[in-house]
A and B are shown apart, each in its own frame.
Chain A
Amino acid sequence: MTHLKAINRKATRVIEHVEEQKKDVVALQRVPQLAPHFPLGCSLVFSPGWEADQNGGTAGLCQPVERDIFDCHIGCFWPAQVPDQLNHAPDWTAKCASAQKDWRKLDLVFPG
């Protein structure tokens, strides 16, 4: 801000908030980043807790890391990432009642 000058503490916080709101989604490849940059979700679907927690690991995610697979599967329009459950692989997730526990039971699907 160049025209308004924050005088008290609350004004500083208002400006911080305004500046924060101006930040946009940025591509992972974009360098240099002005601030530490953690990938947050797929660029198409915003899903908090994706891929890395605030420490860069997966332990503190608000959804289990295995949930990512379902984000691609259900939320993403791009058809190539996961099996096509509607037409070719209707039972793909049949053995996986809970992604967090059973993700290893997800079937392997071969294009055919």
Chain B
Amino acid sequence: MMALARREFHLFQAAGRDFLYLVPSAAVFALDAATSAVLGLVCDGEKGPYPFSADRRAEKGYGPFSRTEDDVVQRLTDRFDAASVRAAIAELLEVRAIGYEQQPDETPLRLLPMMPFPLTTMVMNVTNQCNLACTYCYEYGEDKIVDTENGQQSKFMAESTALASVEFLLKESGHLAHLTFFGGETLLNFPVLKSTIAYARRRAAELGKAIDFSLTTNATLLRPEIIEFLAENQVGVTISIDGPKDMQDKFRVFHNGAGSYDVIAPKIKELLRRHRTRPIGARVTLTSDTLDITKIYRHLTEELGFWEVGFAPVTTSPNQTYAIGDQGFDKMLGQFRALAAEFLESVAVNKHHGFSNVKDTLEEIHKGVSKAYPCGAGLGLLGVSTDGDVALCHRFAGSDAHKMGTVTDGIDRDAQAAFLRQHHIADKTDCSKCWARPLCSGGCYHEAHVRYGTTQKPNLHYCEWIRGWTDTCLRIYGELSERNPDFLARFDREEAKAEAVL
């Protein structure tokens, strides 16, 4: 009889029981006592977190821990009757949580998406100029890809380019198109933004398509008439802000070095007071100096009134002083976990909590997302530079090396196909044994480009953090599946509602 062996999964505990996160399917199962016991035996003696084949185990000098089905039944005989154990083994085999030792490893599927597919989101860099000089900025700092000061790119997008971009989006999109304005500081080019929205609305109506708008801003230019416009036009707003005054003013400074907190705080309060048509989110950049996540969250939600707050570690090469090192990632994970625990206790009793990082990951876990690519860049999302060049995403907009066509000539399908061929998760050998790959898929292309000089490399510097954070979110998911399954079912209802609109 062949020995049973584990296949790829991540085991986690929540609500007092064991759960399985299967890889690469991203299915989540709750285990009963019998399946937990079987898995315990099959994995017993395992040295590492990875599903080593017998050969590889021998090669690494790990002792045998073969478990045939009869062995397992025998060893569990005092706890479960043989029929239950056999049934548990059969179910684990069926969902491929376990297999047989001699079975060859499954070859990862390398399926490229069917082309062409619709463009869902277009991020438009209406300017590459900024009235702030945030020290860590990827656009202006030492890690920049495009020289926006001395390069060939226009500093502001012309209205004609903006309108051509809208035509491009509506041509390439399906029934629903998202148009996101980005910068530089987006609102420096408010006139073009305003006329673009009016034009896009009219053209979308003519073509029978739905379109929505959003933008990211540093909030310095939120004048009352702009706020009024954003509210009236239901423009989703994300504010880049790092927290209370001391943290905000550390990096988010004007060109003369003065902090920006005192300028933006009243404007943000006014925006939140007036603009109720879309949820307003804060987006926080974390650095080694600003890692007090709970404090930042409290300030942004309770004192300023944000509905949601999302956090992301700064994108930088490792030699910058503000780069988050290994210890920083550990600290950050601890803080994320503390805030995530708070999120759990709130939503378990149907109270809103605005820690959007958890919510976003829970949604992906709920749907069982298993990514071949880390994000939508180059797929359903593209960036447009001030000159109308189409790029992978807004972070690469204007970079010739990452160009994928222009808004007038359309998407360069060959470049797009080549990109997708070169960046598939099946080719990221470092990720091939990682259980978190269905959600991470190697991480941000831009981050990889800044760290390793190529978009093709996975972001190995934050693997531990990703696994730690994914585990935390899985545990919260497991808890909620027991304590408030309706919160999770909401993701289905929201999706059904969104699809019904189309």
Interface residues of A (CB under 8 A from B): 1-11, 13-15, 18
Q: Is the CB of B94 within 8 A of A5?
A: no
Q: Contacts A1-B91, A11-B368 hold; do A6 and B27 have CB atoms under 8 A apart?
A: yes
> Does B31 count as interface, using CB distance less than 8 angstroms?
yes
Smallest CB separation, B487 vs chain A (Å): 13
Nearest to A19 among chain B residues (CB) is B94
Judged by a CB distance under 8 angstroms, whether B88 is at the interface is yes
B240 located at the interface, meaning its Cβ lies under 8 Å from any Cβ of chain A in the complex: no
* A8-B30 CB under 8 A given contacts A14-B25, A15-B95: no
Encode B31-60 as 1/0 by CB contact (under 8 A) with A.
110110000000000000000000000000
CA distance A97 to B92 in the complex (A): 52
Chain A residues within an 8 Å CB radius of B492: 9
A/B interface sample: 18 pairs, CB < 8 A: A2-B87, A2-B91, A3-B88, A5-B30, A6-B27, A6-B29, A7-B29, A8-B28, A8-B367, A9-B367, A9-B368, A9-B492, A10-B28, A11-B27, A11-B368, A13-B368, A15-B95, A18-B94
**A3-B92, A7-B477 known; 20 other A-B pairs, CB under 8 Å?**
A3-B31, A3-B84, A3-B87, A3-B88, A7-B29, A7-B30, A8-B27, A8-B477, A8-B488, A9-B492, A10-B26, A10-B367, A10-B368, A11-B22, A11-B28, A11-B95, A14-B22, A14-B95, A15-B95, A18-B95
Whether A8 and B366, one on each chain, are in contact in the complex, defined by CB atoms closer than 8 angstroms, is yes
Residues on the B chain within 8 Å of A1, using CB: 91, 94
Q: Residue among A2, A8, A15, A18 with the most chain B CB within 10 A?
A: A8
A17 to chain B, nearest CB (A): 9
State in angstroms the CA–CA spacing of A2 and B87 once bound together: 8
Residues 8-26 of B, flagged 1 when their CB comes within 8 A of A and 0 if not, give: 0000000000011010011
Near A by CB (< 8 A), chain B positions 380-420 give none
A-side contacts of B34, CB under 8 Å? 3
A8 touches B35 (CB 8 A): no
Instruction: Tell me the complex Cα distance, A8–B274, Å.
Output: 38
Minimum distance in angstroms from B458 CB to a CB of chain A: 23
Going nearest first, the 9 A-B pairs with the smallest beta carbon separation are A10-B368, A11-B27, A10-B27, A8-B28, A5-B30, A7-B28, A3-B88, A18-B94, A4-B29
Residues of chain A contacted by B35 (CB below 8 angstroms): 3-4
Enumerate chain A residues within 8 angstroms of B92, measured Cβ to Cβ. Answer: 3-4
- Smallest CB-CB separation from B491: which chain A residue? A9
Give the residue name and chain of the A residue nearest to B31 (CB). Answer: A4
Cβ-defined contact, B32 with A8, below 8 A? no
CB of B478 within 8 Å of the partner chain:
yes
With a cutoff of 8 Å between Cβ atoms, the chain A residues found around residue B301 in the complex are none
A27–B41 Cα gap in the complex (Å)? 42
Q: Given A1-B91, A4-B95, A7-B478, are A13 and B29 also a contact pair (CB < 8 Å)?
A: no
Q: Mark B329-370, 1 if CB is under 8 A from A, else 0.
A: 000000000000000000000000000000000000111101
B481 at interface, CB cutoff 8 A: yes
Contact B29 A11 (CB under 8 A): yes
Instruction: Write the chain A residue with the least CB distance to B366.
Output: A8
Could you say which residues of chain B place their CB within 8 Å of the CB of A4? Answer: 20, 29-32, 35, 91-92, 95
Interfacial chain A residues near B91, Cβ < 8 Å: 1-4
**Which residues of chain A come closer than 8 Å to B32, judged between CB atoms?**
2-5
Measured CA separation A90–B193 after assembly (Å): 79
> Of A10, A13, A14, which is in contact with the most chain B CB atoms at under 10 Å from its CB?
A10
- B36 — nearest CB in chain A belongs to which residue? A3
B460-502 interface code vs A (CB 8 A; 1 in, 0 out): 0000000000000000011001000000100010000000000
Q: Which residue of A lies closest to B478 (CB)?
A: A7
A2–B88 Cα gap in the complex (Å)?
Answer: 8
Which A residues touch B29, using CB under 8 A? 4-7, 11
* Shortest Cβ distance from B85 into A: residue: A3
Report the separation of the CA atoms of residues A10 and B491 in the bound assembly, to the nearest whole angstrom.
Answer: 14
Output the least CB separation between B266 and chain A (Å): 43
Identity of the chain B residue whose Cβ is nearest the Cβ of A8 in the assembled complex: B28
Bound CA span A51–B195, Å: 60
Name the residue among A3, A5, A10, A13 with the largest chain B CB count within 10 angstroms: A3
| Contact (A14, B27) CB under 8 Å given A7-B478, A8-B367, A8-B477 | yes
Tell me how far the C-beta of B30 lies from the nearest C-beta in chain A, rounded to whole angstroms. Answer: 4
- A7 near B87 with CB under 8 A, answer no
Residues of A with C-beta under 8 A to B366: 8-9
Closest to A5 in B: B30
- Chain A residue, CB-CB nearest to B21: A8
Given contacts A3-B34, A14-B27, whether A8 and B365 have CB atoms under 8 Å apart is yes
How far does the alpha carbon of A1 sit from the alpha carbon of B31 in the complex, in Å?
11
**A14 / chain B contacts, CB cutoff of 8 Å:** 22, 25, 27, 95
Which residues from B are CB-within-8-Å of A9? 366-368, 492
How distant is the Cα of A10 from the Cα of B488 in the complex, in angstroms?
Answer: 13
Chain B residues whose C-beta falls within 8 Å of the C-beta of A7 in the assembled complex: 19, 28-30, 477-478, 481
CA distance A27 to B95 in the complex (A): 28
CA distance A14 to B22 in the complex (A): 10
**Contact of A8 with B368 in the complex, beta carbons under 8 Å:** yes
